[in-house]
Chain A
Protein backbone atom coordinates (compact mmCIF):
# COMPACT_ATOMS: atom_id res chain seq x y z
CA UNK A 1 0.00 0.00 0.00
CA UNK A 2 1.32 3.41 -0.94
CA UNK A 3 1.74 5.72 1.94
CA UNK A 4 2.48 9.39 1.52
CA UNK A 5 5.02 10.54 4.03
CA UNK A 6 6.13 14.10 4.38
CA UNK A 7 9.70 13.43 5.39
CA UNK A 8 10.50 16.91 6.52
CA UNK A 9 7.45 16.88 8.78
CA UNK A 10 7.32 20.64 8.62
CA UNK A 11 5.27 23.08 6.61
CA UNK A 12 6.05 23.03 2.90
CA UNK A 13 8.45 25.80 2.00
CA UNK A 14 6.82 28.23 -0.29
CA UNK A 15 7.78 31.58 -1.73
CA UNK A 16 5.51 34.57 -1.86
CA UNK A 17 3.87 35.29 -5.17
CA UNK A 18 3.51 38.89 -6.35
CA UNK A 19 0.25 39.81 -7.98
CA UNK A 20 -0.65 43.21 -9.37
CA UNK A 21 -4.20 44.26 -8.75
CA UNK A 22 -4.94 47.16 -11.07
CA UNK A 23 -4.39 49.78 -12.41
CA UNK A 24 -7.23 48.62 -14.65
CA UNK A 25 -9.30 46.60 -12.27
CA UNK A 26 -12.99 47.12 -11.59
CA UNK A 27 -12.60 46.67 -7.84
CA UNK A 28 -9.98 49.37 -7.36
CA UNK A 29 -12.40 52.22 -8.13
CA UNK A 30 -10.21 53.98 -10.63
CA UNK A 31 -6.57 53.63 -11.44
CA UNK A 32 -5.11 52.33 -8.20
CA UNK A 33 -2.50 49.61 -8.42
CA UNK A 34 -2.11 47.40 -5.40
CA UNK A 35 0.94 45.17 -5.41
CA UNK A 36 -0.01 42.13 -3.38
CA UNK A 37 2.31 39.44 -2.14
CA UNK A 38 0.32 36.35 -1.53
CA UNK A 39 0.78 33.04 0.10
CA UNK A 40 -1.82 30.91 -1.64
CA UNK A 41 -4.97 32.93 -1.06
CA UNK A 42 -3.79 34.91 1.93
CA UNK A 43 -2.31 38.35 1.48
CA UNK A 44 1.07 38.78 3.17
CA UNK A 45 1.71 42.33 2.09
CA UNK A 46 -0.15 44.89 0.05
CA UNK A 47 1.48 48.03 -1.27
CA UNK A 48 -0.74 50.62 -2.94
CA UNK A 49 0.89 52.45 -5.84
CA UNK A 50 -0.66 55.74 -6.81
CA UNK A 51 -0.02 58.43 -9.37
CA UNK A 52 -1.83 57.11 -12.43
CA UNK A 53 -4.26 60.01 -12.37
CA UNK A 54 -1.86 62.77 -11.42
CA UNK A 55 -2.78 65.99 -13.22
CA UNK A 56 -0.56 68.58 -11.50
CA UNK A 57 -3.65 70.31 -10.18
CA UNK A 58 -1.85 72.17 -7.42
CA UNK A 59 0.78 73.55 -9.80
CA UNK A 60 -1.86 74.50 -12.36
CA UNK A 61 -3.66 76.57 -9.75
CA UNK A 62 -0.61 78.77 -9.30
CA UNK A 63 -1.25 80.17 -12.78
CA UNK A 64 -4.98 80.75 -12.48
CA UNK A 65 -6.94 83.55 -10.92
CA UNK A 66 -8.96 82.73 -7.83
CA UNK A 67 -12.19 82.18 -9.77
CA UNK A 68 -10.52 80.00 -12.39
CA UNK A 69 -9.39 77.51 -9.74
CA UNK A 70 -12.97 76.47 -8.93
CA UNK A 71 -13.43 74.26 -12.05
CA UNK A 72 -10.19 72.52 -11.12
CA UNK A 73 -11.30 71.79 -7.57
CA UNK A 74 -14.34 70.05 -9.08
CA UNK A 75 -12.01 67.51 -10.56
CA UNK A 76 -10.56 66.45 -7.22
CA UNK A 77 -13.33 64.22 -6.00
CA UNK A 78 -15.56 64.16 -9.03
CA UNK A 79 -18.30 62.29 -7.17
CA UNK A 80 -18.61 65.02 -4.57
CA UNK A 81 -17.60 68.07 -6.57
CA UNK A 82 -19.89 70.46 -4.70
CA UNK A 83 -18.16 69.78 -1.40
CA UNK A 84 -14.75 70.23 -2.99
CA UNK A 85 -15.72 73.64 -4.40
CA UNK A 86 -17.28 74.62 -1.15
CA UNK A 87 -14.08 74.00 0.80
CA UNK A 88 -11.97 76.01 -1.62
CA UNK A 89 -14.49 78.85 -1.73
CA UNK A 90 -14.66 78.93 2.07
CA UNK A 91 -10.87 79.25 2.14
CA UNK A 92 -10.92 82.20 -0.27
CA UNK A 93 -13.77 83.82 1.64
CA UNK A 94 -11.86 83.41 4.88
CA UNK A 95 -8.94 85.16 3.21
CA UNK A 96 -11.05 88.00 1.83
CA UNK A 97 -13.29 88.16 4.96
CA UNK A 98 -16.34 88.22 2.67
CA UNK A 99 -19.85 88.14 4.02
CA UNK A 100 -22.02 85.52 2.34
CA UNK A 101 -25.79 86.20 2.11
CA UNK A 102 -27.85 83.98 4.37
CA UNK A 103 -29.85 82.48 1.51
CA UNK A 104 -26.64 81.47 -0.23
CA UNK A 105 -25.53 79.69 2.94
CA UNK A 106 -28.78 77.74 3.04
CA UNK A 107 -28.53 76.86 -0.65
CA UNK A 108 -24.98 75.67 -0.08
CA UNK A 109 -26.03 73.44 2.79
CA UNK A 110 -28.90 71.93 0.77
CA UNK A 111 -26.69 71.34 -2.25
CA UNK A 112 -23.80 70.04 -0.16
CA UNK A 113 -25.94 67.53 1.69
CA UNK A 114 -27.65 66.39 -1.53
CA UNK A 115 -24.17 65.82 -2.90
CA UNK A 116 -23.31 63.78 0.17
CA UNK A 117 -26.35 61.58 -0.46
CA UNK A 118 -25.39 61.20 -4.13
CA UNK A 119 -21.84 60.27 -3.17
CA UNK A 120 -22.91 57.73 -0.54
CA UNK A 121 -25.37 56.24 -3.03
CA UNK A 122 -22.48 55.79 -5.40
CA UNK A 123 -20.60 54.00 -2.62
CA UNK A 124 -23.60 51.82 -1.90
CA UNK A 125 -23.97 50.80 -5.53
CA UNK A 126 -20.33 50.15 -6.30
CA UNK A 127 -19.69 48.38 -3.02
CA UNK A 128 -22.50 45.97 -3.76
CA UNK A 129 -20.95 45.38 -7.21
CA UNK A 130 -17.57 44.70 -5.60
CA UNK A 131 -19.19 42.02 -3.50
CA UNK A 132 -21.10 40.50 -6.40
CA UNK A 133 -24.55 42.06 -6.26
CA UNK A 134 -25.66 44.03 -9.31
CA UNK A 135 -29.20 45.16 -8.51
CA UNK A 136 -28.35 47.72 -5.77
CA UNK A 137 -26.17 49.55 -8.27
CA UNK A 138 -29.16 50.18 -10.53
CA UNK A 139 -31.34 51.28 -7.61
CA UNK A 140 -28.65 53.66 -6.38
CA UNK A 141 -28.23 55.20 -9.81
CA UNK A 142 -31.94 55.66 -10.21
CA UNK A 143 -32.08 57.78 -7.05
CA UNK A 144 -28.81 59.53 -7.78
CA UNK A 145 -30.23 60.59 -11.13
CA UNK A 146 -32.91 62.66 -9.37
CA UNK A 147 -30.24 64.58 -7.49
CA UNK A 148 -28.07 65.05 -10.58
CA UNK A 149 -31.06 66.33 -12.52
CA UNK A 150 -31.64 69.04 -9.92
CA UNK A 151 -27.95 69.91 -10.03
CA UNK A 152 -28.04 70.02 -13.81
CA UNK A 153 -30.97 72.39 -13.84
CA UNK A 154 -29.51 74.70 -11.24
CA UNK A 155 -25.85 74.72 -12.27
CA UNK A 156 -25.85 73.53 -15.86
CA UNK A 157 -23.65 70.47 -15.47
CA UNK A 158 -24.04 66.98 -14.12
CA UNK A 159 -20.73 66.28 -12.45
CA UNK A 160 -18.34 69.24 -12.65
CA UNK A 161 -20.54 72.06 -11.53
CA UNK A 162 -18.59 75.28 -10.95
CA UNK A 163 -21.67 76.27 -8.97
CA UNK A 164 -20.45 77.54 -5.61
CA UNK A 165 -18.68 80.81 -6.20
CA UNK A 166 -16.70 83.16 -4.03
CA UNK A 167 -19.35 85.24 -2.25
CA UNK A 168 -22.33 83.01 -2.87
CA UNK A 169 -23.67 80.61 -5.47
CA UNK A 170 -24.15 80.99 -9.23
CA UNK A 171 -27.88 80.48 -9.63
CA UNK A 172 -30.65 80.52 -7.09
CA UNK A 173 -32.75 77.47 -6.29
CA UNK A 174 -36.29 78.18 -7.47
CA UNK A 175 -39.40 77.32 -5.45
CA UNK A 176 -40.03 74.51 -7.88
CA UNK A 177 -36.65 73.02 -7.04
CA UNK A 178 -37.32 73.25 -3.31
CA UNK A 179 -40.62 71.42 -3.71
CA UNK A 180 -38.98 68.76 -5.85
CA UNK A 181 -36.19 68.27 -3.33
CA UNK A 182 -38.78 67.85 -0.59
CA UNK A 183 -40.71 65.29 -2.64
CA UNK A 184 -37.52 63.46 -3.47
CA UNK A 185 -36.58 63.22 0.20
CA UNK A 186 -40.01 61.82 0.97
CA UNK A 187 -39.62 58.89 -1.42
CA UNK A 188 -35.91 58.52 -0.83
CA UNK A 189 -36.27 58.05 2.92
CA UNK A 190 -38.43 55.00 2.26
CA UNK A 191 -36.15 53.56 -0.38
CA UNK A 192 -33.02 53.96 1.72
CA UNK A 193 -34.57 51.74 4.41
CA UNK A 194 -35.44 49.27 1.68
CA UNK A 195 -31.89 49.29 0.33
CA UNK A 196 -30.45 48.69 3.76
CA UNK A 197 -32.75 45.71 4.17
CA UNK A 198 -31.79 44.43 0.73
CA UNK A 199 -28.02 44.67 1.16
CA UNK A 200 -27.02 45.42 4.73
CA UNK A 201 -29.06 42.67 6.34
CA UNK A 202 -28.35 40.05 3.73
CA UNK A 203 -26.46 37.10 5.22
CA UNK A 204 -24.05 36.84 2.27
CA UNK A 205 -23.17 40.53 2.58
CA UNK A 206 -22.68 40.22 6.33
CA UNK A 207 -20.41 37.21 5.90
CA UNK A 208 -18.32 39.09 3.37
CA UNK A 209 -17.94 42.26 5.44
CA UNK A 210 -18.25 41.51 9.16
CA UNK A 211 -14.87 40.95 10.91
CA UNK A 212 -13.14 42.01 7.66
CA UNK A 213 -10.70 44.90 7.31
CA UNK A 214 -10.83 45.92 10.94
CA UNK A 215 -9.33 49.33 11.70
CA UNK A 216 -8.80 49.91 15.39
CA UNK A 217 -9.06 53.29 17.08
CA UNK A 218 -5.29 53.48 17.48
CA UNK A 219 -4.75 52.87 13.79
CA UNK A 220 -7.22 55.64 13.00
CA UNK A 221 -5.24 58.08 15.11
CA UNK A 222 -1.90 56.84 13.76
CA UNK A 223 -2.85 57.27 10.14
CA UNK A 224 -5.04 60.34 10.55
CA UNK A 225 -8.07 58.76 8.95
CA UNK A 226 -11.18 60.89 8.70
CA UNK A 227 -14.80 60.81 7.70
CA UNK A 228 -16.91 57.65 7.70
CA UNK A 229 -13.79 55.49 8.16
CA UNK A 230 -13.04 57.29 11.42
CA UNK A 231 -16.63 57.15 12.62
CA UNK A 232 -16.87 53.50 11.59
CA UNK A 233 -14.23 52.77 14.21
CA UNK A 234 -16.45 54.23 16.88
CA UNK A 235 -14.95 57.68 17.26
CA UNK A 236 -17.32 60.59 17.74
CA UNK A 237 -15.91 63.23 15.41
CA UNK A 238 -17.63 65.21 12.74
CA UNK A 239 -16.40 68.61 11.64
CA UNK A 240 -19.97 69.72 11.01
CA UNK A 241 -20.61 69.18 14.72
CA UNK A 242 -17.26 69.72 16.38
CA UNK A 243 -15.93 72.62 14.29
CA UNK A 244 -19.06 74.01 12.62
CA UNK A 245 -18.39 75.92 9.42
CA UNK A 246 -20.94 77.80 7.31
CA UNK A 247 -24.27 77.56 9.20
CA UNK A 248 -24.04 73.96 10.41
CA UNK A 249 -24.39 75.11 14.02
CA UNK A 250 -28.05 75.85 13.29
CA UNK A 251 -29.01 72.27 12.50
CA UNK A 252 -29.88 69.35 14.71
CA UNK A 253 -28.39 66.04 13.66
CA UNK A 254 -26.60 63.08 15.13
CA UNK A 255 -23.10 61.87 14.46
CA UNK A 256 -23.33 58.25 13.39
CA UNK A 257 -20.74 55.92 14.84
CA UNK A 258 -19.93 52.31 14.17
CA UNK A 259 -21.07 49.99 16.93
CA UNK A 260 -19.90 46.61 15.75
CA UNK A 261 -23.47 45.43 15.28
CA UNK A 262 -22.75 42.49 12.99
CA UNK A 263 -19.08 41.83 13.58
CA UNK A 264 -16.51 43.77 15.54
CA UNK A 265 -15.97 47.50 15.86
CA UNK A 266 -14.34 49.12 12.84
CA UNK A 267 -14.94 46.40 10.27
CA UNK A 268 -16.21 46.85 6.73
CA UNK A 269 -19.83 46.41 7.75
CA UNK A 270 -19.54 49.25 10.26
CA UNK A 271 -18.20 51.60 7.63
CA UNK A 272 -21.03 50.61 5.31
CA UNK A 273 -23.51 51.17 8.13
CA UNK A 274 -22.14 54.61 8.96
CA UNK A 275 -22.58 55.75 5.37
CA UNK A 276 -26.10 54.40 5.08
CA UNK A 277 -27.19 56.06 8.32
CA UNK A 278 -25.44 59.31 7.39
CA UNK A 279 -27.83 59.61 4.48
CA UNK A 280 -30.68 59.73 7.00
CA UNK A 281 -28.85 62.52 8.85
CA UNK A 282 -28.37 64.40 5.58
CA UNK A 283 -32.10 64.13 4.96
CA UNK A 284 -32.69 65.61 8.42
CA UNK A 285 -30.35 68.52 7.70
CA UNK A 286 -31.89 69.25 4.29
CA UNK A 287 -35.41 69.23 5.78
CA UNK A 288 -34.37 71.77 8.41
CA UNK A 289 -32.66 73.88 5.76
CA UNK A 290 -35.74 73.78 3.53
CA UNK A 291 -37.84 74.93 6.46
CA UNK A 292 -35.45 77.73 7.40
CA UNK A 293 -34.49 79.08 3.98
CA UNK A 294 -35.12 82.80 3.58
CA UNK A 295 -35.65 84.94 0.53
CA UNK A 296 -32.81 87.20 -0.51
CA UNK A 297 -29.83 87.50 -2.79
CA UNK A 298 -27.50 84.56 -3.36
CA UNK A 299 -24.43 86.55 -4.29
CA UNK A 300 -22.57 88.84 -1.94
CA UNK A 301 -20.35 91.79 -2.77
CA UNK A 302 -17.06 90.55 -4.15
CA UNK A 303 -14.46 92.67 -5.96
CA UNK A 304 -14.26 92.07 -9.69
CA UNK A 305 -10.64 90.97 -9.47
CA UNK A 306 -10.00 88.93 -6.36
CA UNK A 307 -6.75 90.05 -4.77
CA UNK A 308 -6.47 88.87 -1.16
CA UNK A 309 -3.95 90.46 1.13
CA UNK A 310 -0.67 88.72 1.83
CA UNK A 311 -1.20 85.79 4.14
CA UNK A 312 -2.30 82.21 4.38
CA UNK A 313 -5.38 80.28 5.50
CA UNK A 314 -6.23 76.68 6.17
CA UNK A 315 -9.82 75.55 5.75
CA UNK A 316 -11.18 72.08 6.26
CA UNK A 317 -14.64 70.69 5.83
CA UNK A 318 -16.41 67.39 6.22
CA UNK A 319 -16.73 65.96 2.72
CA UNK A 320 -18.52 62.68 2.01
CA UNK A 321 -15.24 60.77 2.00
CA UNK A 322 -13.60 62.57 4.90
CA UNK A 323 -11.92 65.83 5.71
CA UNK A 324 -10.69 67.95 2.86
CA UNK A 325 -8.17 70.58 3.83
CA UNK A 326 -7.19 73.50 1.62
CA UNK A 327 -4.08 75.45 2.50
CA UNK A 328 -4.02 78.64 0.50
CA UNK A 329 -1.09 81.05 0.46
CA UNK A 330 -1.45 84.46 -1.09
CA UNK A 331 1.34 86.87 -1.94
CA UNK A 332 -1.02 89.73 -2.68
CA UNK A 333 -1.32 89.13 -6.43
CA UNK A 334 -4.37 87.88 -8.33
CA UNK A 335 -3.10 84.30 -8.53
CA UNK A 336 -2.59 82.02 -5.52
CA UNK A 337 1.02 81.64 -4.47
CA UNK A 338 0.45 78.08 -3.32
CA UNK A 339 -2.56 75.81 -3.01
CA UNK A 340 -2.10 72.63 -1.05
CA UNK A 341 -4.84 70.05 -0.93
CA UNK A 342 -4.95 67.69 1.99
CA UNK A 343 -7.06 64.85 0.74
CA UNK A 344 -8.76 62.26 2.89
CA UNK A 345 -8.63 59.49 0.29
CA UNK A 346 -4.84 59.75 0.18
CA UNK A 347 -4.55 58.92 3.87
CA UNK A 348 -7.14 56.18 3.53
CA UNK A 349 -5.13 54.48 0.79
CA UNK A 350 -2.03 54.59 2.98
CA UNK A 351 -3.86 52.64 5.67
CA UNK A 352 -4.47 49.80 3.22
CA UNK A 353 -0.99 48.40 3.78
CA UNK A 354 -1.72 48.10 7.47
CA UNK A 355 -5.12 46.49 7.01
CA UNK A 356 -4.12 43.94 4.41
CA UNK A 357 -1.72 41.39 5.99
CA UNK A 358 -3.48 38.16 6.79
CA UNK A 359 -6.49 38.90 4.66
CA UNK A 360 -7.96 36.78 1.91
CA UNK A 361 -7.72 38.37 -1.54
CA UNK A 362 -11.50 38.56 -1.74
CA UNK A 363 -11.52 40.40 1.58
CA UNK A 364 -9.01 42.89 0.23
CA UNK A 365 -11.53 43.81 -2.46
CA UNK A 366 -14.14 44.33 0.24
CA UNK A 367 -11.71 46.50 2.24
CA UNK A 368 -10.76 48.72 -0.70
CA UNK A 369 -14.44 49.21 -1.42
CA UNK A 370 -15.27 50.04 2.17
CA UNK A 371 -12.73 52.86 2.51
CA UNK A 372 -14.41 54.38 -0.56
CA UNK A 373 -11.61 56.13 -2.38
CA UNK A 374 -11.77 58.31 -5.45
CA UNK A 375 -8.48 58.35 -7.28
CA UNK A 376 -9.01 61.86 -8.57
CA UNK A 377 -8.61 63.08 -5.02
CA UNK A 378 -5.73 60.76 -4.17
CA UNK A 379 -3.52 61.82 -7.07
CA UNK A 380 -4.79 65.35 -7.75
Chain B
Protein backbone atom coordinates (compact mmCIF):
# COMPACT_ATOMS: atom_id res chain seq x y z
CA UNK B 1 0.00 0.00 0.00
CA UNK B 2 2.74 2.39 0.94
CA UNK B 3 4.31 1.98 -2.47
CA UNK B 4 1.20 3.47 -4.02
CA UNK B 5 1.48 6.68 -2.08
CA UNK B 6 3.00 9.17 -4.39
CA UNK B 7 4.05 12.70 -3.84
CA UNK B 8 1.06 14.77 -4.71
CA UNK B 9 1.31 18.33 -5.55
CA UNK B 10 -1.50 18.94 -7.94
CA UNK B 11 -2.46 22.22 -9.38
CA UNK B 12 -5.67 23.17 -11.08
CA UNK B 13 -5.92 22.53 -14.80
CA UNK B 14 -7.54 25.89 -15.33
CA UNK B 15 -5.43 28.01 -17.69
CA UNK B 16 -3.06 30.28 -15.80
CA UNK B 17 -4.23 33.84 -15.79
CA UNK B 18 -1.94 36.45 -17.22
CA UNK B 19 -0.23 38.74 -14.79
CA UNK B 20 -2.44 41.52 -13.53
CA UNK B 21 -1.80 45.03 -14.72
CA UNK B 22 -3.43 48.13 -13.30
CA UNK B 23 -5.55 48.60 -16.41
CA UNK B 24 -6.69 45.02 -16.29
CA UNK B 25 -7.53 45.30 -12.63
CA UNK B 26 -9.86 48.20 -13.33
CA UNK B 27 -11.34 46.44 -16.36
CA UNK B 28 -12.11 43.38 -14.24
CA UNK B 29 -13.92 45.52 -11.71
CA UNK B 30 -15.85 47.25 -14.48
CA UNK B 31 -17.03 44.04 -16.19
CA UNK B 32 -17.95 42.50 -12.84
CA UNK B 33 -19.94 45.51 -11.75
CA UNK B 34 -21.64 46.22 -15.07
CA UNK B 35 -22.82 42.64 -15.62
CA UNK B 36 -24.03 42.42 -12.02
CA UNK B 37 -25.91 45.69 -12.47
CA UNK B 38 -27.50 44.38 -15.68
CA UNK B 39 -28.78 41.41 -13.71
CA UNK B 40 -30.00 43.64 -10.91
CA UNK B 41 -31.99 45.69 -13.42
CA UNK B 42 -33.77 42.52 -14.53
CA UNK B 43 -34.52 41.32 -11.01
CA UNK B 44 -35.43 44.86 -9.91
CA UNK B 45 -38.42 44.86 -12.24
CA UNK B 46 -39.95 42.16 -10.08
CA UNK B 47 -40.23 44.42 -7.03
CA UNK B 48 -43.40 46.17 -8.17
CA UNK B 49 -46.23 45.29 -10.47
CA UNK B 50 -45.68 41.54 -10.71
CA UNK B 51 -48.51 39.30 -9.63
CA UNK B 52 -47.55 36.71 -7.01
CA UNK B 53 -47.68 33.18 -8.40
CA UNK B 54 -47.49 31.20 -5.19
CA UNK B 55 -50.72 29.55 -4.09
CA UNK B 56 -50.85 29.81 -0.33
CA UNK B 57 -52.13 26.34 0.18
CA UNK B 58 -54.20 25.84 3.31
CA UNK B 59 -55.97 29.17 2.84
CA UNK B 60 -56.27 29.02 -0.94
CA UNK B 61 -57.16 25.66 -2.43
CA UNK B 62 -56.38 25.06 -6.05
CA UNK B 63 -59.06 23.61 -8.30
CA UNK B 64 -57.46 20.89 -10.37
CA UNK B 65 -58.34 20.55 -14.08
CA UNK B 66 -61.34 18.35 -14.81
CA UNK B 67 -59.40 15.34 -16.09
CA UNK B 68 -56.79 15.40 -13.38
CA UNK B 69 -55.83 11.94 -12.29
CA UNK B 70 -56.21 12.03 -8.55
CA UNK B 71 -58.04 9.88 -5.96
CA UNK B 72 -59.78 6.89 -7.53
CA UNK B 73 -63.47 6.29 -7.00
CA UNK B 74 -65.49 3.25 -8.01
CA UNK B 75 -69.21 3.54 -8.11
CA UNK B 76 -69.87 -0.05 -7.02
CA UNK B 77 -73.54 -0.03 -8.05
CA UNK B 78 -72.58 0.33 -11.71
CA UNK B 79 -69.69 -2.13 -11.58
CA UNK B 80 -70.20 -5.34 -13.57
CA UNK B 81 -67.09 -7.07 -12.06
CA UNK B 82 -65.50 -7.57 -15.43
CA UNK B 83 -61.94 -7.62 -13.99
CA UNK B 84 -60.66 -5.48 -16.87
CA UNK B 85 -59.28 -2.82 -14.52
CA UNK B 86 -57.46 -5.43 -12.44
CA UNK B 87 -55.94 -6.90 -15.61
CA UNK B 88 -54.85 -3.53 -16.97
CA UNK B 89 -53.29 -2.37 -13.70
CA UNK B 90 -49.48 -2.45 -14.06
CA UNK B 91 -48.90 -2.67 -10.29
CA UNK B 92 -51.74 -5.11 -9.47
CA UNK B 93 -53.33 -3.04 -6.74
CA UNK B 94 -57.00 -3.76 -7.53
CA UNK B 95 -58.57 -6.70 -5.68
CA UNK B 96 -61.96 -7.97 -6.83
CA UNK B 97 -64.04 -10.88 -5.58
CA UNK B 98 -67.28 -11.73 -7.36
CA UNK B 99 -69.53 -14.75 -7.70
CA UNK B 100 -72.10 -15.73 -10.30
CA UNK B 101 -75.52 -14.30 -9.59
CA UNK B 102 -78.36 -16.75 -8.97
CA UNK B 103 -80.46 -17.29 -12.07
CA UNK B 104 -83.71 -16.75 -10.16
CA UNK B 105 -82.49 -13.57 -8.49
CA UNK B 106 -83.86 -10.19 -9.48
CA UNK B 107 -82.43 -8.91 -12.81
CA UNK B 108 -80.47 -5.72 -12.25
CA UNK B 109 -78.80 -3.37 -14.68
CA UNK B 110 -76.24 -0.59 -14.48
CA UNK B 111 -77.10 3.00 -15.25
CA UNK B 112 -76.19 2.62 -18.92
CA UNK B 113 -78.20 -0.59 -19.30
CA UNK B 114 -75.54 -3.27 -19.04
CA UNK B 115 -76.92 -6.31 -17.20
CA UNK B 116 -75.06 -7.23 -14.00
CA UNK B 117 -74.41 -10.98 -14.02
CA UNK B 118 -71.99 -11.17 -11.09
CA UNK B 119 -72.41 -10.33 -7.43
CA UNK B 120 -69.62 -8.08 -6.25
CA UNK B 121 -68.34 -9.07 -2.80
CA UNK B 122 -65.14 -7.13 -2.61
CA UNK B 123 -63.76 -4.21 -4.55
CA UNK B 124 -60.62 -2.90 -2.90
CA UNK B 125 -57.92 -0.67 -4.31
CA UNK B 126 -54.69 -0.28 -2.40
CA UNK B 127 -53.97 3.33 -3.34
CA UNK B 128 -50.65 3.22 -1.53
CA UNK B 129 -49.49 0.95 -4.37
CA UNK B 130 -51.40 2.81 -7.08
CA UNK B 131 -49.25 4.75 -9.55
CA UNK B 132 -52.14 6.89 -10.84
CA UNK B 133 -51.43 6.00 -14.45
CA UNK B 134 -55.11 5.96 -15.41
CA UNK B 135 -55.02 2.70 -17.37
CA UNK B 136 -57.80 1.14 -15.25
CA UNK B 137 -60.21 3.99 -15.89
CA UNK B 138 -59.78 3.88 -19.66
CA UNK B 139 -60.69 0.19 -19.95
CA UNK B 140 -63.75 0.40 -17.68
CA UNK B 141 -66.77 -0.44 -19.91
CA UNK B 142 -69.44 1.16 -17.68
CA UNK B 143 -67.23 4.08 -16.65
CA UNK B 144 -67.91 3.45 -12.97
CA UNK B 145 -64.21 3.62 -12.05
CA UNK B 146 -63.01 7.20 -12.37
CA UNK B 147 -60.24 9.47 -11.26
CA UNK B 148 -61.62 12.35 -9.24
CA UNK B 149 -59.99 15.73 -8.69
CA UNK B 150 -59.80 15.28 -4.91
CA UNK B 151 -56.17 15.52 -3.85
CA UNK B 152 -56.35 15.79 -0.07
CA UNK B 153 -56.23 12.24 1.21
CA UNK B 154 -53.37 11.92 3.65
CA UNK B 155 -53.64 9.07 6.15
CA UNK B 156 -52.00 8.25 9.46
CA UNK B 157 -51.50 4.57 8.65
CA UNK B 158 -50.65 2.69 5.49
CA UNK B 159 -53.75 0.54 5.95
CA UNK B 160 -55.90 3.62 5.56
CA UNK B 161 -55.05 3.72 1.87
CA UNK B 162 -56.89 0.45 1.23
CA UNK B 163 -60.19 1.71 -0.07
CA UNK B 164 -63.01 -0.80 0.16
CA UNK B 165 -65.55 0.70 -2.21
CA UNK B 166 -68.39 -1.39 -0.78
CA UNK B 167 -67.99 0.12 2.68
CA UNK B 168 -70.73 2.66 3.45
CA UNK B 169 -68.39 5.47 4.54
CA UNK B 170 -66.47 5.32 1.26
CA UNK B 171 -69.68 5.08 -0.75
CA UNK B 172 -70.64 8.41 0.73
CA UNK B 173 -67.81 10.05 -1.19
CA UNK B 174 -69.97 9.73 -4.25
CA UNK B 175 -72.02 12.80 -3.40
CA UNK B 176 -68.87 14.80 -2.77
CA UNK B 177 -66.51 13.62 -5.49
CA UNK B 178 -68.38 12.48 -8.56
CA UNK B 179 -70.06 14.90 -10.87
CA UNK B 180 -72.60 13.33 -13.18
Contact = CB atoms under 8 A, between A and B. Distances in A.
Interface in A65-122: 65, 67-72
Interface stretch (A156-164, A227-235, A272-280): A156-164
Contacts of B61: none
Interface string A132-150: 0001000000100100010
A197 B69 contact: no
B135 A162 contact: yes
A201 B38 contact: yes
Interface in A145-204: 145, 149, 152-153, 156-157, 160, 162, 170-171, 194, 197-199, 201-204
A170 B131 CA distance: 17
A160 B131 contact: yes
Interface residues of B, number: 34
A13 B64 CA distance: 64
Contacts of A145: 53
Interface residues of A, number: 46
Interface string B1-24: 000010111111111000000000
Given A67-B88, A160-B133, A197 B38 contact: yes
Given A157-B69, A197-B38, A197-B42, A67 B8 contact: no
B53 A142 contact: yes
B132 to A, nearest CB: 7
Interface stretch (B29-37, B94-102, B114-122): B29-37
B67 interface: yes
B13 A203 contact: no
Contacts of A212: 14
A199 B42 CA distance: 11
B32 A204 contact: yes
A68 B132 contact: no
A366 to B, nearest CB: 11
A64 interface: yes
A39 interface: yes
A71 B53 contact: no
Nearest to B8: A39
B155 interface: no
A197 B35 CA distance: 9
A213 to B, nearest CB: 10
B49 interface: no
B36 A71 contact: no
B141 interface: no
A156 B148 CA distance: 10
A54 B147 CA distance: 29
A149 B53 CA distance: 13
Nearest to A72: B90
Given A71-B90, A72-B90, A42 B39 contact: no
A16 interface: yes
A11 B67 CA distance: 68
A48 interface: no
Residue among B13, B14, B131 with the most chain A CB within 10 A?
Answer: B13
A353 interface: no
Given A162-B133, A171-B67, A197 B39 contact: yes
Interface string B51-91: 00100000000001101110000000000000000001110
Interface of B: 5, 7-15, 31-32, 35-36, 38-39, 42-43, 53, 64-65, 67-69, 88-90, 131-135, 138, 147
Given A14-B9, A44-B8, A358-B11, 5 more contacts: A42-B11, A70-B133, A152-B64, A160-B133, A197-B39
